[in-house]
Structure 1
Amino acid sequence: MWWVELGYYSFEPGENDFPRPGQVIRYYRQQKFKSDGKCWTQQDLANALGLTEQAVCLMETKDLGLDSITRRRVLIRILQIPAILLGLAEIPQLSSTSMESGVGNKAAAINISFYEEQLRSYYNAHHRKTTHQNLPQIQKEIAEMYQILPISHDKERVSQILSRYHIMAASIMRDQCLFNQTIEHLDRAIYFTTQNKDYEFLADAYYRQGWTYLEQGKGEKAIQSFLLAEKLAQKIPTYMKAGILIGLGRSLALETQNKQDSLEALRTLDKAANMLRTYPPPDGNPHYLEIEIDRFHTDRSASLIDISFPHDALQELSYIRSDHNNQRRIALTRVLYAKTYFALKDYPEACYMAEEALHVIQPIRSKVNYQQIKKLYRQLKNTNFKDNPEVAHLEILIDKMKELGQI
């Protein structure tokens, strides 16, 4: 498919050797973000076009309502779709000399270093605090690179940066519980890294795919993603192997059926810890992966909660070192404390830690952690502690964050 050769998404083929237009529209709609960091819905696009939501649904799923060239041009402008994907530009001869020479000056003028620096700043902000507000800019830069890719003299380097951008966008979207879009970005990263034999970032993409499935409670799918990453073990640094084993152990804990399964999950996690103690991650590692011994303690405690060992989970949490610069880690740790105290039936302490978690979640707008607190609240409402003021106060805080648009 020529559009894949040009670096675009692998849409299904449609009529006249062009991709299916409905799929193209859906893909680019989901890449367009509002000021609150959420992607456009079908209703948003319907409002912009003056159509009904059902009409947009039929457009995306059945390719209906696209006979008008005017409408296609409007969609191209609104969603920033490359005209060629909606059949309003001629399919290029990929090997033609005219294409290379005609746009050579533009390709040469692209400053790849700019995108590399942008990416570094996005990752640093995301790990420590938040970067959801940068999603529109990140999507804009992804679109720019897709325009660059077909005409670049260094397609491999551009596609490498694109794969990292897709991984960055996926990380933000996972934190915002936009799981379908997360998987789509990771699929693109997997495509480019496979094409480039970029094994470390291919493992990175599979690793993040596994965590995306874990956040959805899909333990079996998570296991498969981590096993795909593990197949690359001979081609990646040791600390990355440890991270993959942490994810695999966490997935195994989620899927445990008996004591033997639980022990296997813990053994996998402990193997990862031994690796990290022997081969810690280098300073300034290029993958922007927060894989170190505190991450191990965090995920081992989560696994201990999953296999119903809350006393051991509480002990494991005590090993995590405090780092006030890492607000995301603090939020997750407090969520785990709240879940652990709930498992211990210490409901007042569970409410207290849930409130403490919300105080950190609110400024970084971590929806995935917010959803964990909402789930805990629902569990509290099913206990004999449900009518206590601590639970009522937690409900007020949860609702207030939603009403004020703070999540």
Structure 2
Amino acid sequence: MAATSDSLGGCHDRAGGSPWWVQLGYPSFEAGPDHLPRPGQVVRHYRRLKRRPDGKRWTQADLARALGVTERYVNLMEHHDEGFDSFSRRRFLAEILAIPPVLLGLAELPGLGKQTTPLQAPAVISRPAIDVEQVARRLSALNRKGDLSTAGPELPLVEATLRELYEALPFARGDQPYVKRLLVGYHTLAGSVLRDEQQPQRALEHLNKAVGWANSLQQETLLAFALYRRMTALIEFGQVERALQDEQRVRRLLPRLPADLRVALLLRGALAQARTGEAQRQPGRVLALLDEAAAWLGEALAGSGDDRYHLPLSRERFQIDRAAVLLALNWPRDALDSLPTRQLSGMTRANVYAELLAAEAYARLGEYEQAAALGLEAIPVARTIRSQVNLDRARRLTERLAASPFGSAPEVARLRLLLNQPGRGRGRAL
């Protein structure tokens, strides 16, 4: 509950002289509005008590970096009490500077309420007959959008198209195999979007259906692709044993698969294996899978260019996926050496992923400042493309940095602020 002017003013009136904060043992700040101490003086006092990793006290420049504002703005805050009209900013300042909340008009730090905004129902496509060619073109366009950034905003359209396909299936006759292939494609797309948004139950429902339809068609390449997408989600959701079951199933298909799909599956298998305790002790099996994938990479890149499954295959993407495996083995220096030296053109989500892998590797090596800098670059982009999976990676990075000797640095406070901003996009500007 926030402190009110009545409750705090009463404390002052009963004493008759000293303000209530002096009576409670706090410094003799000048009185501000609403029977509270001047917030700028409070912030300046506690900012000077804050210590950086090198033992020096926080400067106005340090606080400016943490808040993402200019040093002049902090000067105005401290000397002219500007910028304290935001409740969330007061709460953040109280947290990072260890200010007793009551001094900023907060009796206690409020908890985060549960999200109550109802999900909007997806739009409905209503046409008397299905145009399978148009639906296929739509799937290709949505997959390209997902590869470059995110297809998240199009999820209602994806789910509406799935309903349309299911309604058309009994009447498709000779086109039934084609419609079933489209069902596999749309279910894998929906599952991948929901994986990126960290919705495990819904994602796996779609991916299980994709595997089921692919299995019914008895097309090994299509089945391997559906299993690849499901393995990716299972690994992300921490269900490594189930991912390994899919990996064993895929191993029987590998000799008959095209090179690009073979490389993708070998990399996923290596990542699943790397997440096991056995691999931490004996990484030979994981390294063998990486070597096998590398051996097929040249043929995969020299293929016909038939990207029917929209596999994110390039030499740079191979390096990113290899780095993820090495990091899972807790080999951070090798992971950094594996990462590409340049960003992938137009591949926003992959670039954010690579930045966060590098940040995690630097953090494990004790190079905390570099880790924080990469995290600060990645978070706004991940938020813009609504990539919850990457925001969660950034959150784990921030927790690691906060628990390190670098934990009191303003960069770590800034990371926490960026992660806690509400809504989509960049959040509220400070």
The TM-score normalised by the length of structure 2 is 0.67
1:404 to 423, 427, 430: 423
Decide which structure has the larger Cα Rg and report it.
2
2:170 to 140, 150, 168: 150
Count of aligned pairs between the two proteins: 308
Q: What is the distance in 1 between the residues matched to 2:135 and 2:296? A: 33
| Change in 2 beyond 3 A, CA 1:288/1:404 | same
| Change in 2 beyond 3 A, CA 1:242/1:258 | closer
1:297 to 319, 325, 328: 319
Q: Is 1:313 paired with 2:335? A: yes
Which residue number in structure 1 is paired with residue 392 of structure 2? 371
Unaligned stretches of 5+ residues in structure 1: 1-40, 49-77, 82-105
SS at match of 1:323: coil
Q: What is the distance in 2 between the residues matched to 1:157 and 1:190? A: 16
Which residue number in structure 2 is paired with residue 269 of structure 1? 290
**How far apart are 1:324 and its partner, in Å?**
2.8
**Could you list the per-position Cα deviations for residues 259-301 of structure 1 after superposition, in whole angstroms to 9, with x for gaps in the alignment?**
6631221221121011012332542411111133322211221
Q: What is the distance in 2 between the residues matched to 1:347 and 1:314? A: 14
1:360 to 381, 385, 393: 381
2:145 to 125, 133, 137: 125
1:207 to 205, 221, 228: 228
Matches for 1:324-339 after TM superposition, within 5 Å = 324-339=345-360
**How far apart are 1:42 and its partner, in Å?**
11
Q: What is the distance in 2 between the residues matched to 1:398 and 1:152? A: 48
Contact preservation (8 Å) 2:267, 2:293: yes
The TM-score normalised by the length of structure 1 is 0.71
Q: Which amino acid aligns with 1:235?
A: R
Q: What is the distance in 2 between the residues matched to 1:315 and 1:209? A: 29
Which residue number in structure 1 is paired with residue 37 of structure 2? none
Q: What is the distance in 2 between the residues matched to 1:398 and 1:43? A: 20
Matches for 1:7-406 after TM superposition, within 5 Å = 44=118, 109-153=129-173, 154-257=175-278, 261-280=282-301, 281-317=303-339, 319=340, 321-400=342-421, 403-406=422-425
Q: Which amino acid aligns with 1:293?
A: R
**Could you list the per-position Cα deviations for residues 215-253 of structure 1 after superposition, in whole angstroms to 9, with x for gaps in the alignment?**
122322222212222222233212211111111111111
Q: What is the distance in 1 between the residues matched to 2:304 and 2:384? A: 30
After TM superposition, the structure 1 stretch with the greater mean CA deviation from structure 2, 144-153 or 117-126, is 144-153
After TM superposition, the structure 1 stretch with the greater mean CA deviation from structure 2, 141-150 or 249-258, is 249-258
| Change in 2 beyond 3 A, CA 1:179/1:259 | closer
Q: What is the distance in 2 between the residues matched to 1:185 and 1:282? A: 30
Unaligned stretches of 5+ residues in structure 2: 1-114
**Could you list the per-position Cα deviations for residues 86-125 of structure 1 after superposition, in whole angstroms to 9, with x for gaps in the alignment?**
xxxxxxxxxxxxxxxxxxxx6xx43110100100110010
Contact preservation (8 Å) 2:270, 2:290: yes
Q: What is the distance in 1 between the residues matched to 2:321 and 2:341? A: 11
**How far apart are 1:379 and its partner, in Å?**
1.5
Contact preservation (8 Å) 1:245, 1:272: yes
**How far apart are 1:312 and its partner, in Å?**
1.2
Q: Which amino acid aligns with 1:120?
A: S
**How far apart are 1:336 and its partner, in Å?**
0.5
Contact preservation (8 Å) 1:330, 1:360: no
**Could you list the per-position Cα deviations for residues 64-83 of structure 1 after superposition, in whole angstroms to 9, with x for gaps in the alignment?**
xxxxxxxxxxxxxx8999xx
Q: Which has the higher contact order (CA 8 A, sep 6+)?
A: 2
